Amino acid sequence: MFPFLIKAKELILDIFFPPICLNCRKNLNNRNVLVCDDCLNAIHLNNTLFCPVCRARLAENKKICHFDGRYLLAAAGNYDDPTLKNLIHYFKYQSFQNLAPILGDLLIQYLQKSQLINQSTNKLINYLIVPIPLHSKRRR
């Protein structure tokens, strides 16, 4: 009896609140998915680290300029990418916490593409990831 009630609830939700992609607003077949495959595949991920001073791409993740810089900059995607920008906006400012696994998968793909993860152990190789802190207004 309970499976029937669950299916009835999902059907009613699909009628009044159909699942749509957060980015392109297309109808989705699965209620548990927030973004369609077309939008996810459209996100271009970087494959290198960057110089923190001049933002130059670092070949083989080694410093080739500004040797006095204390860190390397890693950005999984370009912030001008509209799909990625929308997903981050929904996650940060509209409390779509269900986007965390999707954004986490994008980060893991970037770390694998840039060869910062040991493929056999799935651990970082001589790197430390530090998140960018929130602005004090956002924290309040």
- Percent of the chain whose predicted confidence (pLDDT) is above 70: 98
- Percent of the chain whose predicted confidence (pLDDT) is above 90: 12
What residues contact residue 112 under an 8 Å CB cut-off, 6+ apart?
119
Q: What is the pLDDT of residue 1?
A: 56
Q: What is the pLDDT of residue 102?
A: 92
Highest mean pLDDT: which of 12-21, 50-59, 94-103? 94-103
Q: For 55-78, what is the mean pLDDT?
A: 80
Mean pLDDT of the chain: 82
Q: What is the pLDDT of residue 87?
A: 92
Q: How far apart are CA 19 and CA 17, in angstroms?
A: 6
pLDDT greater than 80 at residue 85? yes
pLDDT greater than 80 at residue 138? no
Pick from 122, 114, 118, 83: nearest CA to 99: 83
| C-beta of residue 23 within 8 angstroms of C-beta of residue 8 | no
Q: Is 45 helix (H, G, I), strand (E, B) or coil?
A: strand
- Output the six-digit token pair for 139: 């924290």
pTM reported for the whole predicted model: 0.77
Q: How far apart are CA 81 and CA 110, in angstroms?
A: 15
pLDDT in tens, 20-62: 888 888 887 776 788 888 988 999 998 888 888 887 888 777 7
